[in-house]
Amino acid sequence: MVQQSETKSRGRKLPYDDWMEATGLPVYRGHFVEDLRVVELGWWEERGCKAAFLNLKGMEGVSEGRVQEIAPSGELPKLRMAIGELIYVLSGQGLCTVWLDDDRPPRTFEWNARSLFHIPRHSTYQLSNARGDAPARLLHYNYLPIALSAIPDPEFLINNHTYHRGDAQSLDEAFSKAVEVSDATANVRIGVYWLGNFFPDLGAWDKLAPYRGRGAGGSAVYMRFPGGEMGAHMSVFDAGLYKKAHRHGPGRVIVIPKGEGYSLLWRQGPDEEKIVCPWHEASVFVPPEDWYHQHFNVGTTDARYLALGSLTQFAQKGETVYEKSIRQIEYPNEDSWVRERFEEEVAKRGGRSLMPDEAYVDPEFEWNYGDDA
């Protein structure tokens, strides 16, 4: 399911496609990449590192994903972008230094495997590898394809130092400890989100809230970033369980911080092929716009999937309440093959399904989170 190829002709090419292909770096297409820690990279002279692009089905023209590797004890050139960027650490440990502008001192913080941090727009940042015995790999995520369609000038958006930020927020405030914000409008199932630019280890993050209605007794954390339009969320669910099929808008990239399992992707329709995306830590896949997708934990520990995105204008596409009957498939209404395959996959690993029988009968069945009245 991983392809490394030229962009297929689809009429007029996007400015982002021209820019991406001009780098000469590998471009990974298809639906998923099983392990970003080991994929082949190419040398990117401009950025002083090995790198590759992700242009998986569902990302095209919307979001950018790129993998960059920092050599042992290495340091990358400073980079400044006119748009915000999320960085997820696939492996390694190191430092990030951020400058809001030339008049204010920078802020430096440490990152490790499974850290997630946000670089605010019009900020300069520099990454370095704190280890001398191994490279570090990072996944970068942003909305450069959309920005380049609006302003088809890479030099305006990348390393343009003519614009100066006007906000008074200090970097100490920007990268202070994330705080919980109660907001009933933030998410109909969660009611809270965490606001901050740095999340130290999403493989161990334990500040979770029940994610009712999506099944598997799962919990989640929703993340927002000061001064940024992008969002992210991570869902967590136990071994021997699986989530309900659902669909939403374009551009979201899902990376795995922990667990073993697989996800199904398919177009709406009774005869559409279901694409199986196996995953473990550092796997990545993208549900295309309006495709159903469903997540299964066949391992022995809890599983975690981190969804990067989306922009506000895409967040509710295909997810409004009145569309619930078509945006989410309840367990009693799903194809019997889904349950059968899951039970087979769990059995192969010496386990068994822990899905309650009642969930397949009652479409309103909900897990008990211990806080029911």
Q: What is the pLDDT of residues 182-236, one digit of tens each?
A: 876 655 467 889 999 999 999 999 999 999 999 999 999 999 998 888 889 999 9
Q: Measuring CA to CA, how many Å separate 314 from each of 319, 323, 368? A: 10, 15, 31
Residue 356 has pLDDT above 60, yes or no: yes
49-67 residues labelled b (16+ CB within 10 A) or e (exposed)? bbbbbbbbbbbbbbbbbbb
Mean pLDDT of the chain: 90
Output phi, psi for 174, to 5 deg: -65, -35
In this structure, the strands spanning 27-30 and 49-54 are parallel
Q: Which domains does the chain have, with CATH numbers?
A: 2-162 (2.60.120.10), 174-357 (2.60.120.10)
Distance CA 364, CA 362 (A): 5
Residue 5 has pLDDT above 70, yes or no: no
Tell me the whole-structure pTM to 2 decimals.
0.93
Distance CA 26, CA 124 (A): 26
Output phi, psi for 332, to 5 deg: -65, -20
Distance CA 223, CA 168 (A): 22
In this structure, the strands spanning 192-195 and 219-224 are parallel
Q: What is the pLDDT of residues 83-104, one digit of tens each?
A: 999 999 999 999 999 998 767 7
Q: What is the pLDDT of residues 270-304, one digit of tens each?
A: 778 999 999 999 999 999 998 999 999 999 999 99
